[in-house]
């Protein structure tokens, strides 16, 4: 039973997942800091009020703090946009550059005599009527 557990832990995908989680947590801290320390003060400089926690609705003695919800929503939108514009778009651009499509199969070739374009399966050139090499072999 312990042997199977050891194999499970030492499989590559479990180790990769652990590394991914650690890197994800570290990246989350970087993005949260970017939003808190750079984007939110920038918005505060433009709008003038970076914090909406003072917005409260009192209904039958119950306090509904919709300002906290607005803060959380704005924070989520800022984090999502930071991740999209600074991670997803650049990674997609790099992946599309790295992905090279194979060239299409040729449909024509050059005649060795007159150098005109002829179909790939041609046995005789339509321009100079020379017999092509593939016809001599066939």
The predicted model gives 31-41 an average pLDDT of 76
Q: Is there a contact between 127 and 114 (Cβ–Cβ < 8 Å)?
A: yes
Task: Outline where DSSP puts E strands in the chain.
Answer: 57-59, 62-64, 108-110, 117-119
Q: Does 2-98 carry CATH code 1.20.1600.10? A: no
- Coil/strand/helix, residue 124: strand
* Digit-coded pLDDT (tens) for 58-115: 999 999 988 788 777 877 887 788 778 888 888 888 888 888 777 888 888 888 888 8
pLDDT band at 134 (very low <50, low <70, confident <90, very high): low
* Confidence check: pLDDT of 118 > 60: yes
């Amino acid at each position: 039973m312990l042997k199977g557990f050891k194999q499970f832990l030492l499989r590559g995908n479990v180790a990769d997942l652990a590394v991914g989680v650690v890197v994800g947590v570290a990246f989350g801290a970087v993005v949260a800091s970017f939003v808190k320390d750079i984007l939110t003060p920038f918005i505060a400089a433009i709008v003038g009020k970076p914090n909406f926690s003072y917005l409260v609705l009192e209904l039958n003695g119950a306090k509904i703090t919709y300002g906290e919800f607005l803060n959380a929503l704005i924070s989520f939108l800022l984090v999502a946009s930071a991740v999209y514009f600074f991670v997803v778009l650049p990674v997609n651009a790099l992946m599309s550059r790295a992905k090279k499509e194979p060239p299409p199969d040729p449909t024509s070739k050059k005649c060795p005599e007159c150098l005109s374009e002829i179909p790939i399966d041609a046995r005789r050139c339509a321009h100079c009527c020379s017999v092509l090499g593939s016809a001599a072999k066939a």
